[in-house]
Amino acid sequence: MTTLTKQARETIKWWLTIKWWFGEIPAQRTTIAGYIRFNGYSDGKWGGDRCGCPDDRCIGYHHYDETDCGCLEAVLDQYVDAIKHGETLFTDRYSR
């Protein structure tokens, strides 16, 4: 099992906060756990790469260190779109 880097975790949290602030997602709580479930890890354990990309070989293949993953923002946009379209599976409310 891989652990998300601190930068990836912060990007996920702030990305969703920024999208909410500008009215791009409904006012509901979005979480790192929801992002993990969105990427197919229903057990809540991250299985992608440390940078936040669901591809577990991203570092070294798409980029060469933990700080410049372009995949993360693209996947975050897909996650936000899923929430916008009412997919509550990926929100905190689903897990409670």
DSSP secondary structure letters along 22-76? TTSS-SS-B-HHHHHHHTT-TTS---S-TTS-SSTT-BTTTBSSTT--SHHHHHH
Evaluated on CA atoms 50, 38, 79, 32, the torsion sign reads negative
Q: What does the pLDDT average to over 58-83?
A: 78
pLDDT in tens, 13-47: 887 677 767 766 655 556 788 889 889 888 889 99
* Residue boundaries of the structural domains of the chain: 6-95
| Residue 94 confidence class, pLDDT cut points 50, 70, 90 | very low
pLDDT of residue 95: 44
The length of the chain, given as a count of residues: 96
d(CA 8, CA 34): 14
pLDDT of residue 49: 87
pLDDT of residue 88: 62
Query: Whole-model pTM?
Result: 0.75
pLDDT in tens, 56-65: 878 767 677 7
